[in-house]
Amino acid sequence: MKKFILLLIIILFPLYSFSHPSSYEGGLDLMGSSHSKYQNLELVYSPKYWLGTGLVLERSPKLWESIAIQLGLLVKRWNLPAAQGNLYILAGPGYGSKFNLKEDKDTDLLYRVGAQADYETRQIYTFVKYTEQRFFSSNNHLYKRLELRAGFAPYLAKFTELNSWLILKTIFINDFKDVIYVPTARLFYKNFLIDLGVDLDGGAQLNFMVRN
C-alpha cells in the first residue's frame, strides 16, 4: 500500500481544493499536501452542500500509512455581513499500517474522527483542524494531528482580481512529537489558489488548489 499511496500523491499532488470537507452541491474536490514528514491526498464529492463523502490517503514516512473513507458534515455555518465561519465534524472507517523498530508493520482496520473550524473576513483568516485514527481491535492511536493557521491579506482585491494572503501554518504530527512551522504565501485568483511555503528547517511545501 505504501507504494500505491506514494504513486497517487506524486501523480495527483498538484490538485487541491479549498480545504473544506464539503463544498457546493454536486462539487468534486481533490486535495493534497506534501511535506517530508507528512503527505495526504483527499478526494471529496458533496451530494449536498452540508455533506462531503470521500477517500483519504495519508502517510508519515517510515512511521505509518492509511487509507480511509471520510464523511464530512457541516454542523454550523455563520454568514455574517463581512465574515463567514464554518464548523465540521469528520468520521469514517479505514485500514492502516504502523511500522515498528524491526521494520515490520502492524496492519488493522481503523476508524478516523476529527473536527474542523474556520473563520475569515476579507482581511483575516483563521483555521483549526484536528484528526486522529485508532485501530478497531486495540483502540490504540495510529496517529493524532492538529493543524492551526492564521493569516492576513496585505491588501484588498475583488474576486476577479489576484488576491494574496500571508499565512503561518503550525502542524503537530506523530502524536504531537513533531511540530512544523510553515510561513506561507497564498495567491488566489477566481477558482485557482496556490500556497508556497518553507518550514523553519528549510523544507518546501507546495499546495496547488482548484475547484470545479
User: Residue 182 and residue 197: Cα distance in Å, rounded?
Assistant: 6
pLDDT at 87 over 80: yes
Alpha helices in the chain (DSSP H): 2-12
pLDDT at 3 over 80: no
User: Residue 80 and residue 180: Cα distance in Å, rounded?
Assistant: 32
For the ranges 40-44, 54-58, 94-98, 129-133, the lowest mean pLDDT is seen at 40-44
pTM: 0.83
Confidence band, pLDDT 50/70/90 cuts, at residue 211: low
Report the C-alpha dihedral over residues 134, 136, 139, 142, rounded to 10 degrees.
-30
Highest mean pLDDT among 127-131, 195-199, 202-206: 127-131
What confidence tens digit (pLDDT) does each residue in 98-148 have? 988 776 788 999 999 999 999 999 899 999 999 999 999 999 989 899 999
DSSP characters over 171-191? EEETTTTEEEEEEEEEEEETT
What is the overall mean pLDDT for the chain? 84
Confidence band, pLDDT 50/70/90 cuts, at residue 208: low
Q: Are strands 64-80 and 83-99 parallel, antiparallel or unpaired?
A: antiparallel
Cell of 70: 471520510
Helix (H, G, I), strand (E, B) or coil at 10: helix
**182 Cβ contact list (under 8 Å, min separation 6):** 35, 168, 169, 170, 171, 197, 198, 199, 205
Residue type, 46: S
* CATH of the structural domain 2-210, one choice from 3.30.40, 2.30.30, 2.40.160, 3.90.820: 2.40.160
What is the helix (H) or strand (E) element at residue 128, kind and residue range?
strand 124-135
Cell of 114: 476529527
Helix (H, G, I), strand (E, B) or coil at 195: strand
Closest of 123, 162, 128 to residue 146, by C-alpha: 128
CA angle 55, 72, 59 (to 5 degrees): 40
